[in-house]
Amino acid sequence: MKNKKIKDRRPQALKDRHMPNNFDISLKAYGGGGTAKSLNPIPKKLKSQPMKGFEVQYKNIIDYIVRITYHIWEDKNIGYIYDTYSNDCRVWDEFGLQSGSEKIVADTVHTNNAFPDIRLFADEVIWAGDDNASFHTSHRTIITGTNTGYSKFSEPTGKSVRLFCIANCVAKNNEIYYENVVYDTAALIKQLGLNVNQVAKDIASKGEIGPFAPDFKNSKPKRKTGKAKPISFEIPEKVSNVREFVHSIFNTIWNRRNFSAIDHVYSDNIVFEGSTGRLFKGKKQLRSFIISIVASFPDLALSIEDIYWMGNEQDGYLVSIRWGAIGAHKGNGYYGAPTDKECYIWGITQWQIENNKIIKEWTAFNEFGILMQLLGDK
């Protein structure tokens, strides 16, 4: 794992006043993110918002994030990255930190070469902020393509792939300067017909990855153990304070290990979509998944790095949560026999909340990054 000093480009956390309290500017109001043939036309009555420093063609932040993605990936105007990413941008992904727009351009060219027919469809965009504090967007996309070119994983396989991705971007003055993105890399490799464990081991052993830790605000997250009990949080009955609701749930379930709380905060028909093709319906499957992760990393300590949301109590909420965790691989499970290696785990969770219950969850986390950390020789 590489250890190097990194210039801190973390944006300031948004305040509650930065959260939109309705869905007037949303992907649904925008008309969706397009179809298999084309991007949806710009709605005639698209609601505008102040976009100081952005190109005049963009009426609001949804318009900006959906359309630049389309131009870069589907119009193949990859050089548009120079106009929409800052020269010194920071992008965290499963392989570590990617610095600067030149690196982002190179990586995008590489992916387009491997999948010439790649398509990215906007599935949801959660946003907050403004043109003064910076816009924060959590962009969930469905990615499809056929591997007819060389990739970092193998020679062309001819296989078709379909996976989802969540990219949390921070933009100001028409430029994204900070991004955390989780591609479902493990699912991609499996769909290419490759052995995901072997690919992870090969890449990690070359030392071409890291640093792994995203920007843990409080250094490493800590979980009080032994005589000091993990902090207990009371989960609110009503979602009147989204920030409090999110913190109480994550701490209660993940750090306090109170898995019974799942019954109180998730709807009976909860639908969960997660990395590596996970699709759960109902609380039982979700609970089993969470317990399996904690069983593999018994001392897992999790912290929330960023939260923002849109909506209100009556109409419900869409929430984006970026989190990070550290734990030692000391338990048997999905990741094989214990290695005792300390592992960085991070991800982005999106919730749809209605009637004070989470009815849908999408969680993308660095599963391929976990495998690289556990299986690599270095």
The backbone torsions φ and ψ at residue 158, rounded to the nearest 5 degrees and listed phi first, read 75, 5
Radius of gyration of the chain (CA): 20
Ramachandran bin of 161, using left for φ above 0, alpha for ψ from -120 to 50, beta for the remaining angles = beta
> Distance between CA 299 and CA 327 in Å, rounded?
5
Domains of the chain (ranges; CATH) run: 16-194 (3.10.450.50), 242-375 (3.10.450.50)
Measure the CA angle with vertex 303, ends 123 and 94; round to 5°: 55
Q: What is the structure's pLDDT at 32?
A: 77
Taking the CB of residue 289, how many other CB atoms lie within 10 A of it? 15
pLDDT of 353-367, one tens digit each?
Answer: 999 999 999 999 999
213 vs 14: CA distance, rounded Å: 22
pLDDT value at residue 217 = 43
DSSP string, 71-116: HHHTS--GGGHHHHEEEEEEEEETTEEEESHHHHHHHHHHHHHH-T
d(CA 69, CA 335): 34
The torsion angles phi and psi of 81, rounded to 5 degrees, stand at: -60, -35
Is the bond preceding residue 50 a cis peptide, omega within 30 degrees? Answer: no
Q: What is the pLDDT of residue 1?
A: 44
The alpha carbon of residue 170 and the mean position of all alpha carbons in its chain are separated, in whole angstroms, by: 13
Comparing 5-14, 61-70, 84-93, the range with the smallest average pLDDT is 5-14
- Please, which residues have CB within 8 angstroms of residue 314's CB and are 6 or more apart in sequence? none
Q: What confidence tier does 219 reach under pLDDT thresholds 50, 70, 90?
A: very low
Let me know how long the chain is: 378
| Range with the poorest average pLDDT among 5-19, 117-131, 211-225 | 211-225
Indicate whether 218 pLDDT > 90: no
Closest CA to 30 of 40, 16, 20, 18: 40
In the predicted model, what is the mean pLDDT of residues 331-342? 94
- Examine the pLDDT at 141 and tell me if it is beyond 90: yes
pLDDT tens-place string over residues 235-284 = 988 999 999 999 999 999 999 999 999 999 999 999 999 999 999 999 99
Label residue 42 by pLDDT band (50, 70, 90): confident
Between strands 301-312 and 316-328, the pairing is: antiparallel
Is it the case that residue 38 has pLDDT exceeding 70? Answer: no
Share of the chain above pLDDT 90, in %: 80
CB 320 within 8 A of CB 309: yes
204 contacts 37 by C-beta, under 8 angstroms? no
